[in-house]
Structure 1
Amino acid sequence: MAYLSMIFFQIVAPILILLFVGAILQKKFQFNLKALSHLVTYCFMPVAVFINLYETTVNLTVLGQVAVFIAIFIGSQMLLSHFIAKILGLNRTESAVFKNSVVLINSGNYGIPVAQMVFATQPIGVAIQVILVIFQNMITYTYGLYNLISATQSGREIIKDFLKMPIVHALIIGIILNIWDIGIPQTLRIPLDHIAEGFIAVALITLGAQLSQIELRTIMNKTIIISCFTRLIVGPLVALLIIYLLRLDGVVAQSLLIASAFPTSRNSSSLALEYDVESNTAAQTVLFSTIVSCLTVTVVIYVSTILFG
């Protein structure tokens, strides 16, 4: 019960407050949601990812363990979500949003604060979560982006739109500057930091504005419930199996298990809005999975402590 209250008031409640602020502002001012989506996708998001990649220093051994785990785990989630979408008989756009809701995890503004709370005396636990954020960013803007674009386009148009995304350029530049240890002039670094710091607030307020136009009763539909069950329940069970198969233990195993239980990434909703692909369903899934996760993540944290603490 103590873990439940801490996670809710320190992690979930701040997220819900920002969503609520966005909903109130949208009701009062009727923002242009497409313009807000462009602002997040073409400004705040790439800068935040760039800064994250540029600043992260990773131990190669831990990086290797995390890389192997994430490759197997994400691969399994891709296959699982694909087959479930087939079984549910979803069309191309519905299938794209469903698969993203299972595969794309909120490792950033949800995962890192949870890791900081759980691993307050074990910095490696937080470092592992930062690594996962990087992997999730790469998966979001490759697999996740491809899913949405391919749902409405094909062939050359997909590649063309993908290469135009600033997030792709931010990933490449961030990695290059990090590896070669190239400094950024303060004249550029200061505005970049300001934009990166505003990303979470602007993204969540935008999501809240989008959610304000949704009838809450429509959240309780079969696809959303199955998506959340797969992300929040099946995901950690699969992760636990992979952890045992890879013979991981200690903080690494505990951190990876907890990370597998986080809710659907808000970026899945931001991208769905940007490309106008089932954006309401995507937003509903993010909201529902975030609310339910305050219970499921608590259970996973407790289990991870027993098994690997």
Structure 2
Amino acid sequence: MKKLIMVLLLFACLKVRAQNAGSITVGGDLDKFYPTLWTDGGWSSNTASVLEIGRSSTHVNGDWRGTVIAKFSYHTYAWGNGAGFLNADVTQVNNLENTPNDRNRNFIAGWRDATIRSGSGSIIIWLRGGGTTYYYKSLYANAPVVYDGVANPLPFQEENGPAHSYKTTKDPYVNSDGMSRSGTAYFNGVVTPNYFAGDVGVGTPDTKGYKLAVNGKIRAQEIKVETANWPDYVFAKDYALPSLKETEKHIQEKGHLPGIPSAQEVKNNGVDLGEMNAKLLKKIEELTLYLIQKDKELEQVKADNKQTREMLLKMKK
């Protein structure tokens, strides 16, 4: 029994030691983010390391300093072993909504695997300075090192790699409201479609208020655009068809067709496919009406010419 108890106590101690919790304070300036070094304790155990960094109270280190809860899961590259990744779930915000400096919203500005050309077994996480305290919990033993010019001098020299100093802005890959993944994502919803409640940006973090924004080319087998106010009203009897003289005048003055955006407007604002197709169809329908009018005028000219020829023949006889 005593041996069993001792074994259980030893196992419990080892389990407690395997999880490391503590806190660090990053000095320097409040508007800068400094490199901090964290170890990959799970590498030799053939598992991913898991690190949680957070501050639940917004008033730590000062009123309304802000909060962050983040979880990192990573396995370092370590001289090219291949299965390296660094994923993060981050939620960070400063409670002062009208802060003059948007950088105050962020506590984590970026991260990097520091083992591309070494076996140091470390990752770098840039954390906001200014005497800001962070609390951490690691699945494996961890001894974070802060390079803020106070605890340790800047820059941090990555082994066989570049030197790293502070950042002044958040890197684009950092999602301050959710997941940032280093690998490719597969969402295999078949019966129930994959659902995204918010806006989606591909190649850009700024969707400019659109549900989908793509910075690059799109290839698809079929695109369906739903639009209202389809311009069949052009064929209504009460539609005021502009005269060709009015259209000519507009072209001479503006350099483009009436109702069609200019080249500069398209360059600045892009083109709404549904709206533009409707505008183009309207012009096609107006053009069709012009052709019908001209065809009627041509038929009348032909009839008049025929009548004139018949009169000339009679006079000649």
Structure whose residues are more often helix by fraction: 1
TM-score, normalised by the number of residues in structure 1: 0.18
Structure whose residues are more often strand by fraction: 2
TM-score, normalised by the number of residues in structure 2: 0.17
**Greater RCO (Cα-Cα under 8 Å, separation 6 or more):** 1
